[in-house]
Amino acid sequence: MATGIKDKVVILGMGCSKFGERWNCGTEHLLAEAFQEALQDAGIEKGQIGAAWFGSALDRANVGNSAIPMSTALRLEGIPVTRVENMCATGTEALRGAVYAVAAGAVDIALAIGAEKLKDTGYGGLPVTTKGTLNDLIMPYSSAPAGFAQLAAGYRTRYGVSREDLKRAIGRVSWKSHQNGAKNPKAHIQKEVDLDTILNAPMIADPLGLFDCCGVSDGCACAIVTTPDIARGLGKKDLVTIKALQLSLSSGRDVGTAGWDGSYVRNTRIAAKKAYEEAGIKNPRKELSMMEVHDCFSITELVTMEDLGVSADGGAVKDVMDGFFDADGGVPCQIDGGLKCFGHPIGASGLRMAYENYLQLLGRADRRQLKNPTYGLSHNLGGVPYSGVAAISILGLLAH
């Protein structure tokens, strides 16, 4: 009988590079930057790492196939290193691999690291990729914002929200994240943006304007994980532990049958339910201290509030407008600035979110520090709302 991951694995150390347009850094520099911080934080030598997982989503725009570019960049010699790719859930997948290896007793200490170099393409937005030989023949080549923008049509149709009210609510989602990101020295975009600018920005994919879309950045984040016993043996006192790690993927139902109305993301709902069960969370709106969710686009974040059960169905617009997710709200969301301000170097994002939850739980979040957080949730959404992957991790403090 499966017992879940709760409290079996702790984080020994984490690192996160400065995110942004790192014109003078290649992926190897970003990897080294985050890794060095994590090693120092963990207080171990590189040679103590028994296995590693490397998340990178776009091989051609980044460092190519396999984990070899990462093992070479960090000079990891003779240990198992695996590259994982699962669209925007890639970073969380790397963490999952490392955490499961430790929980299985296969290794004592494992590394999860995710990096993406998006700014070597010569243009804004994500690189254009093919979708496979059959899909290239039958699937429209739409952009990422076009995939998520469809949530807006579905949401306003289901709940009878006007175009204007929804536009304003998603605009406020971005406004709030910019407020937070302005306080984060590692964020790509560290500035506040007023709501009028957000609402009047050029259209990218109706109704998403420029400020409804996350940035495009280079970045890397990593975690070194081990068992609670080993961590204590290394002298660690306050331990951040994995409370839940869940993943849900589409079977094609929503894109291929009539059931889905476009107003929610099924994968998030399934992964959230399992994650809350695994972590022992009964009322997320009350128990979660903070959330780092996949705000690739503002409409995604708004819908995710309902999918995670923090807002009631149809209640996210009101919660957003009431400031429930602001830094001083009921459950602060994107306290580090989110993808909105960090950008979305795909392989790194899941680990970057965990990094903020980790800092907050240990009281190391500086000007962004929340009061006595207990649970931090992170959430990734890969693909598109009707065909994709959702990943959720919940971190918390290990009881002494």
Residues 155-214 that bind another protein (CB under 8 A): 157, 202-206, 208
Quick check: 151 binds another protein (CB under 8 A)?
Answer: yes
Distance between CA 195 and CA 174 in Å, rounded?
A: 8
Q: List the interface residues with another protein, window 256-275 (CB under 8 A).
A: 256-258, 261-262
Q: Which of 252, 282, 371, 399 binds another protein (CB under 8 A)?
A: 252
253 binds another protein (CB under 8 A): yes
Are 339 and 187 in contact by the 8 Å Cβ rule? The answer is no
Asked if 2 interacts with another protein (CB under 8 A), we say no
Nearer to another protein, 146 or 362 (CB): 146
Q: Is 140 in the site for another protein (CB under 8 A)?
A: yes
What number of other Cβ atoms are within 10 A of residue 60's Cβ? 10
Binding piece for another protein, criterion CB under 8 A, among 111-119, 122-130, 279-287, 346-354: 122-130
Q: What does each C-alpha distance from 23 to 37, 77, 114, 187, 199 come to in angstroms?
A: 21, 29, 19, 15, 30
CB of 222 to another protein, least distance (A): 31
The most distant pair of C-alpha atoms in the chain lies apart, rounded to whole Å, by 58
Q: Give yes or no for residue 23 binding another protein (CB under 8 A).
A: no
Q: How many amino acids of this chain bind another protein (CB under 8 A)? A: 42
Residues sharing a CB contact under 8 Å with residue 185, sequence separation 6 or more, in sequence order: 18
Calculated CA dihedral for residues 166, 171, 174, 179, nearest 10 degrees: -130
Is residue 60 close enough to count as binding another protein by CB under 8 A? no
Binding of residue 121 to another protein (CB under 8 A): yes
- Which uninterrupted H or E stretch holds 52? strand 51-55
Q: Which of 15, 20, 114, 154 binds another protein (CB under 8 A)?
A: 154
- Torsion angles phi and psi, residue 2, rounded to 5: -65, 140
CB of 264 to another protein, least distance (A): 12
The distance of closest approach from Cβ of residue 226 to another protein in the complex, given in angstroms and rounded to an integer, is: 39
Structural element, H or E, at residue 93:
helix 90-103
Instruction: Identify the bridge partners of residue 146 per DSSP, sorted by sequence position.
Output: none
| Tokens coding 27 | 């992926």
Residues that bind another protein (CB under 8 A): 121-123, 125, 128, 130, 133-134, 136-143, 145-146, 149-154, 157, 202-206, 208, 251-253, 255-258, 261-262, 386-387
